[in-house]
């Protein structure tokens, strides 16, 4: 390897590097075709009240794309390949547009939509949001925008100003995957997030993991200090749900309460009414 560098040669890619590169190219092609053929949609997952788990506080809309066979591809399989590209911005725009349409169509719905800090100032995204807010006066107060901790730290000063402007219009902001990124407390106190979502790395198996229990308590203490509503992500077991509830989390989200679905209950109910 050192000989290649000395002679100015490009280091050879390992078989793993080649496989990763090919997978990213395939995913990029899949996303590009899905956008072109309007095969992008949202899957909805409930975020339930911890002490009333039968009641959803709000839902989160996860972006999905369809491949050439019609198979639904979750974001975790493609977001890494597109997040830094123009297609990532386009997906943010489509997810926002789909979410705003759902909010306009279902007056009782409160919905969280994911976005990247990279989309702040992206003209099409801003136009989509303003058009949705202008079309229905109740949408702003029912819309939650989720920004991951790592994304927010890309341009913290820009995110702070962006949030302040939109919170004035009633929009709520959530910091997603908290604990998985690298927010310094110096920057964190400048943010005005309304909701803190604890990353699943700290909530999975927490009932039997003393280290995660300590970390979750510390994160909860931070949220309380900054008067933030708290959500535990990736809750998959009854004992974890019980522990997190006793710990004082406001809401819980995960497969234990429901998987993301493209056919949420309000659409099913609407279909039944139409048939009746």
The domain in which residue 58 lies consists of: 39-64+82-275
Confirm whether 109 is domain-assigned.
yes
Confirm whether 47 is domain-assigned.
yes
Confirm whether 22 is domain-assigned.
no
Mean per-residue pLDDT pooled into runs of 10, the chain (276 residues): 52 60 82 96 98 97 95 92 93 98 97 96 96 95 95 90 95 94 71 96 97 96 95 98 98 98 91 74
The enclosing domain of 146 has a CATH number of 3.20.20.450
Confirm whether 173 is domain-assigned.
yes
Give the per-residue pLDDT at 9: 62
Give the per-residue pLDDT at 25: 83
Confirm whether 2 is domain-assigned.
no
Q: How crowded is residue 177: how many other Cβ atoms within 10 Å of its Cβ? A: 19
Number of domains, the chain: 1
- pTM of the predicted model as reported, rounded to 2 decimal places: 0.90
Per-residue 3-state assignment (H helix, E strand, C coil) for the chain: CHHHHHCCCCCCCCHHHHHHHHHHHHHHHHHHHHHHCCCEEEEEEEEEECCEEEEEEEEEEEEEEECCCCCEEEHHHCHHHHCCCHHHHHHHHHHHHHHHHHHHHCCCCCEEEECCHHHCCCHHHHHHHHHHHHHCCCHHHHEEEEEEHHHHCCCHHHHHHHHHHHHCCCCEEEEEEECCCCCCHHHHCCCCCCEEEECHHHCCCHHHCHHHHHHHHHHHHHHHHCCCEEEECCCCCHHHHHHHHHHCCCEEECCCCCCCECCCHHHHHHHHHHHC
Confirm whether 195 is domain-assigned.
yes
Confirm whether 238 is domain-assigned.
yes
Give the per-residue pLDDT at 210: 98
Confirm whether 25 is domain-assigned.
no
């Amino acid at each position: 390897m050192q000989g290649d560098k000395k002679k100015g040669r490009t280091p050879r890619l390992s078989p793993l590097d080649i496989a990763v590169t090919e997978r990213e190219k395939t995913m990029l092609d899949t996303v590009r075709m899905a956008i072109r053929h309007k095969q992008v949609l949202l899957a909805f997952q409930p975020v339930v009240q911890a002490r009333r788990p039968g009641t959803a506080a709000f839902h989160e809309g996860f972006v999905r794309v369809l491949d050439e066979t019609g198979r639904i591809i979750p974001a975790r399989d493609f977001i890494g390949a597109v997040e830094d590209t123009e297609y990532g911005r386009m997906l943010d725009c489509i997810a926002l547009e789909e979410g705003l349409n759902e909010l306009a169509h279902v007056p009782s719905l409160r919905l969280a939509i994911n976005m990247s800090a990279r989309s702040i100032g992206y003209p099409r995204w801003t136009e989509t949001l303003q058009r949705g807010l202008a079309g229905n006066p109740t949408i702003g107060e029912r819309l939650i925008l989720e920004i991951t901790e790592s994304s927010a730290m890309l341009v913290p000063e820009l995110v702070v100003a962006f949030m302040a402007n939109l919170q004035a219009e009633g929009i709520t902001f959530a910091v997603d995957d908290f604990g998985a990124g690298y927010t310094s407390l110096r920057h964190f106190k400048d943010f005005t997030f309304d909701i803190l979502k604890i990353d699943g790395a700290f909530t999975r198996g927490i009932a039997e993991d003393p280290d995660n229990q300590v970390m979750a308590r510390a994160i909860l203490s931070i949220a309380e200090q900054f008067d933030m509503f708290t959500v535990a992500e990736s809750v998959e077991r009854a004992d974890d749900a019980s522990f997190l509830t006793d710990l004082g989390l406001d809401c819980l989200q995960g497969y234990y309460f429901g998987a993301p679905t493209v056919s949420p209950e309000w659409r099913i109910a609407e279909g039944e009414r139409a048939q009746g």
